[in-house]
Amino acid sequence: MSLESVGPEGRSGWSRRNFLKIGAVGVAGMSLQEAAFAADAGNDVNVILLFLVGGPSQLETFDLKPNAPESVRGPFRPIRTRVPGIDICEHLPLTANIAQHVSIVRSVHHTAAPIHETGHQLMQTGSLFRDGRESPHYGAALSYLRGPSNEDVPPFVVIPGPIRYTGVCVSHGQTAGPLGDRFGPMWYRDERLPLRSHDNVENECSGEVHSSPTSRSYSSLTDAATRAAFDLRREDSTISDRYGSHSFGRSTLLARRLVEHGARCVTVNMFDTVFNRVTWDCHADGGSLGTTLDDYATTLCPMFDQAYSALIADLHERGMLSKTLVLACGEFGRTPVINPRGGRDHWTGAWSVLFAGGGTRGGQVIGATDSWAAEVKDRPVTPQNIAATVYRAAGIDSAKIAGACSVQAPFSHSDAMAELF
C-alpha cells in the first residue's frame, strides 16, 4: 500500500506532507489488515494518559487508612474533598477541589511479577507480553482505527520521552506492537523547556526497546503549523503557571495543547526511570532508589497535584473534558507495611488509579481495600478492566485490534467498568 492510496479518512497515519516533514516511520511494517478496516465511528473521545512511573503508594495518595497501625498508615492525614464522603491525602488539596470530576478506583490489582515492567505493559495495553510478542498501546490502537484528526499533529505522542531502564530489559508497553511502527508514538522532547535531565542514569540495555525513528525535538519540526501546535510559548502565562514550571507540569500542559490541536492520544511519562532521582518508587534505600515518604510530601504529591488539577480544570473550562479521557495511573502500589528504612516496596495486591472526563462519571469511588490497603475487599479491578474501559470510552473496537495483531482479544467491551458510564 502506498501513501497515495490512503485517503484523508484512512487509518494509516499522516499525509505524505507530514510523513516527510516530521519523519514518520516507514511503511514496510504495514499489515494487510489495514486496508480492510473502515473508519471506526467510535465516540470521538481522545485520551491523555498520565503515567506515574515508579508506582505511587495508595496509602499516601488516594486510599489512606488513618485508623491502621502507625507502621501501616504512614505519616500523612486525609482531607475532605468537594465530594462528601471522599477523602484523599492532605498533600493533594488542589485535586480535592476538583474531585467532582474524578472517579477514584481503589481496587486495582494484578497477580503478575511485582516489577515495574509488568505493570508498565499491563496498564498501557491490558496484556502481559510473552515470547517477545508485544501488544499495542492505547494510543497505537487509536492511531490504527481512527487515524489523525489533524494532519499537522501526530495521532499518538509520548512526552517528554520514553520510559528507559527500570530494572529489566523488556518493553515498557509504549509501542504499537504487531500493528507496526507506523502507528507507534512520536517521542517528543522540547529542548527549550526545563524538562527532566537524563544525567546519571546508566543505560543497562543496549539497543533499547524504545529506539524509534520518530524521536523528535522541537528544533526538528519544520512545518509552521506543527511547530505552533507544540509551542508552549503560545500559552498565556496564567495558564502555564497553573500547571507548574516543572517537567511534569509543562508536559501535561503540552498534552492538553496537542489534544486540542488534534492528537488522539498523548502519554505523559512523569519520569523516564526510577534510578537516581526522586520518583514514586519510594524504597528509601539511600542509594539509587533513595526516594522517601518525605519526598512525597515535599515534591511528588505537590507536583502531581498542581499539574493534574490544572489539566482537569483547564479541559473543563475549555469544554474539552467530555471528549477527553484522562487516566492517571502507576504500575502498582506500595507495601502496606513501611519497610525498616522508612519506605515502601513494590505491591500488586491493591492500588488506586484516577479516571476523569471522556464521558465517564466523576465524584465517586469504585472498589475498596481492607483496613491496611493491602488486598481488595470490594469490586476487584484488573488491568484488563482498565484497558477495556479506555477502549470503551475512546470507541476502540478491541476485536479489530486483536484481529490486526492475529491474537485473541485479552479483554472485551463487557470488561469495562460499568460504574464509570
- 400 belongs to a structural domain: yes
> What secondary structure does DSSP assign to 104-150, as a single string?
EEEEE---S-SSHHHHHHHHHHSS--BTTB----HHHHHHHHH--SS
Across 16-37, average pLDDT: 37
Flag whether 220 is in a domain.
Answer: yes
> For residue 13, is pLDDT > 70?
no
Residue 350 belongs to some domain of the structure: yes
pLDDT number for residue 31: 36
Q: What is the mean pLDDT of residues 24-39?
A: 34
Q: Which domain holds residue 323?
A: 3-276+300-337+346-420
Percent of the chain whose pLDDT exceeds 90: 77
pLDDT tens digits, 140-154 = 999 999 998 888 999
Count: domains in the chain: 1
Mean pLDDT of 28-49: 54
Beta strand pairing call for 186-189 and 368-369: unpaired
- Cβ-contact 119, 331 below 8 angstroms: yes
Take residue 307 and report the three cell numbers written for it.
499539574
Cα–Cα dist 82/244, whole Å:
23
* Mean pLDDT to the nearest integer, 285-303: 97
Q: Quick check: is 290 in a domain?
A: no
* Residue 363: inside a domain: yes
Residue 186's SS3 state is strand
- Stronger pLDDT, 346 or 34, i.e. the higher one: 346
The model's pLDDT over 161-191, given as tens digits with 9 standing for 90+, comes to 999 999 999 999 999 999 999 999 998 876 6
For position 287, what pLDDT does the model report? 93
Confidence grade of residue 5 (pLDDT, cut at 50, 70, 90)? very low
Which CATH number does the domain housing residue 32 bear? 3.40.720
User: Each residue of 319-332: b (16+ CB within 10 Å) or e?
Assistant: eebeebbbbbbbbb
pLDDT of the residue at 135: 96
Q: Answer whether residue 366 is part of any domain.
A: yes
Q: What is the pLDDT confidence band of residue 196, given thresholds at 50, 70 and 90?
A: low
Q: With 50 as the cut, is the pLDDT of residue 241 above it?
A: yes
The three cell numbers of residue 261 are 490541536
| pLDDT classification of 22: cutoffs 50, 70, 90 | very low
**What is residue 225's predicted lDDT score, i.e. its pLDDT?**
86
The mean pLDDT value of the chain amounts to: 87
Q: Bridge partners of 217?
A: 189
What 8-state DSSP symbol labels residue 96? H
Q: How far apart are CA 395 and CA 171, in angstroms?
A: 26
pLDDT at 356 over 50: yes
Express as a percent the part of the chain with pLDDT over 70.
Answer: 83
pLDDT greater than 80 at residue 2? no
Lowest mean pLDDT: which of 92-96, 219-223, 258-262? 219-223
For residue 283, is it within any domain?
A: no
Q: Is the pLDDT of residue 105 over 70?
A: yes
Residue 286 lies in a domain: no
pLDDT in tens, 202-218: 445 644 444 444 567 77
Q: Using one digit for the tens of pLDDT, what is the confidence trace for 246-275?
A: 999 999 999 999 999 999 999 999 999 999
